[in-house]
Amino acid sequence: MKIGIVTWFHYINYGTALQAYALQKFLKSNGYSCVLVNYVPQKKAFIEKIMSGNYIKRVASKIESYRFKLLKHDIKEEIDERKALFKDFLNKNIDFTPKIQSNEDLYRLNDIIDCFICGSDQIWNPENLNGVYFLDFADEKKKKISYAPSFGVRSISASKKRKVQKWINRIDKLSVREEEGARILNTITQKNVEVVVDPTLLLSSFDWEKCMINPDIKEKYILCYFLGDKREYWDVARSFANKTKYKVVVIPVRYSSFLKNYDIRISVGPEEFIGLIKNAELVLTDSYHGTIFSILFEKDFYVFKRFNDFRKDSQNSRVYSILKMCNLEERLIGNNFFVNCKHDISIDKYERVFEVLNDKIKDSKSFLLKNLYECEGKKI
């Protein structure tokens, strides 16, 4: 049986690349022939994005992009190297279909694929709804499974629910990454919906160590990896640096991150990203996958709230979900961190964390393998 995975992989984003790698790696390790569908959606024009909502967010993004262009002249070589490292990682580690260039190419996949899997990452985010990520091109008779896709938000509009409902009812076996996603689906389908772990958790820390590159850093360090841009992040980083006397290393993403007076690591691909987390003394992040890899490597870490909980497009729920699953809610930094923080940096309960997490990982693997066995006409 040949499996085709439909997910995001084309963004220069560590979590996106690593989740795509992890799902294929897990399936291959269980004996399946597996390819990633080489589909890259067309970019929306800026005015089209504005019309689709989140005007302030879109304009802010455009301003950020302009500021970046002014900066890129000085760091172009390092930025290009980061992009090359991502490209090399994907080419080296992932088996792709030929590039999909038309709807006809998508439909032709039915001739070579026996079972389709959509997931993971925020491929179902309501801002970017796309039927391809719900397997709308797959023949009715083809087996279709969703594995850990995320809406990324707590709720979606009624009009978008209707669109999703049409697609979702064609999928044979449903799973999502967060409880919020399951609640959304439970309002539009009678099908059973499982909550499973992100694909990166299907591989062990030992698996990840095999594909990481260790950093050339001899001192103990605090790793900062922020997708957002808040002054509080850097206030906390400075406080911990003063307290521990550790070096501060930054994987920059936002414009302001590149300008900090720390050890700025621009030429970082997915393998280097894993190595930087694995070797850090403390990780400070607002990233979902930054949090996951910190847990996998049993690191001391704190994760910041990146979004306002009262906004409809808040994506905090995915971080809350993994922290709640692991009983690590105290590692969340909200507003008033310096007032409310009453605990030490060290996490001394990873044995208990993995007692719970390993059970969830086991159930998630069982969901996937059981349904694949059924696709083959077997019983687990």
Is the pLDDT at 306 greater than 90? The verdict is no
Domain co-membership, 152 together with 132? yes
Is the pLDDT at 46 greater than 50? The verdict is no
Q: What whole-number distance in Å separates Cα of residue 368 and Cα of residue 32?
A: 12
Residue 70 belongs to some domain of the structure: no
- Per-residue model confidence (pLDDT) at position 318: 78
pLDDT > 90: percent of the chain? 74
Residue 323 sits at φ, ψ, to 5 deg, of -65, -40
Residue 86 belongs to some domain of the structure: no
Domain co-membership, 216 together with 149? no
* Distance (Å) of CA 9 to CA 19, 38, 94, 97, 210: 8, 9, 10, 13, 21
- Per-residue model confidence (pLDDT) at position 376: 79
Sign of the CA dihedral with 13 first, then 14, 16, and 17 last: positive
Domain co-membership, 217 together with 155? no
Average pLDDT, the chain: 89
Is the pLDDT at 40 greater than 60? The verdict is yes
Write the CATH number for 190: 3.40.50.2000
What is the mean pLDDT of the segment spanning 174-195?
95
Domain co-membership, 29 together with 154? yes
- Per-residue model confidence (pLDDT) at position 316: 66
**Lookup: tokens for 365:** 């693997």
Residue 59 belongs to some domain of the structure: no
Residue 221: which domain range? 211-347
Domain co-membership, 137 together with 221? no
Of residues 109 and 73, which shows the higher confidence score?
A: 109
**Lookup: tokens for 35:** 């390819």
Q: Is the peptide bond prior to 314 cis by the omega test (within 30 degrees of 0)?
A: no
Residue 77 belongs to some domain of the structure: no
Number of domains in the chain: 2
Residue 352 belongs to some domain of the structure: no
Domain co-membership, 327 together with 236? yes
The residue type found at 167 is W
Of residues 191 and 55, which shows the higher confidence score?
A: 191
- Per-residue model confidence (pLDDT) at position 377: 75
Domain co-membership, 128 together with 155? yes
- Per-residue model confidence (pLDDT) at position 334: 76
H-run or E-run covering 231: helix 231-244
355 and 349 Cβ atoms separated by less than 8 Å: no
Residue 67 belongs to some domain of the structure: no
- Per-residue model confidence (pLDDT) at position 375: 82
Residue 40 belongs to some domain of the structure: yes
The DSSP output letter for 328 is -
Domain co-membership, 217 together with 114? no
Domain co-membership, 197 together with 234? no
* Distance (Å) of CA 316 to CA 8, 53, 304, 322, 323: 20, 19, 9, 11, 11
DSSP H helices in 8-100: 14-29, 46-51, 55-93
Residue 196 belongs to some domain of the structure: yes
308-364 pLDDT, tens digit each: 555 555 556 778 889 999 999 989 987 655 544 544 678 888 999 999 999 999 999
Q: What whole-number distance in Å separates Cα of residue 234 and Cα of residue 12?
A: 23
Least confident of 63-72, 154-163, 253-262, 296-305: 63-72
213-255 pLDDT, tens digit each: 999 999 999 999 999 988 889 999 999 999 999 999 999 998 8
pTM, two decimals, is: 0.90
What is the mean pLDDT of the segment spanning 65-78?
66
Report the SS3 class of residue 221.
Answer: strand
Domain co-membership, 185 together with 233? no
Least confident of 117-121, 189-193, 342-346: 342-346
Is the pLDDT at 50 greater than 50? The verdict is no
pLDDT > 70: percent of the chain? 86
> What's the pLDDT band for 153 if we cut at 50, 70, 90?
confident
What is the mean pLDDT of the segment spanning 37-66?
60
Write the CATH number for 219: 3.40.50
Cα first-last separation, the chain:
16
Is the pLDDT at 59 greater than 80? The verdict is no
Domain co-membership, 100 together with 186? yes
Domain co-membership, 167 together with 246? no
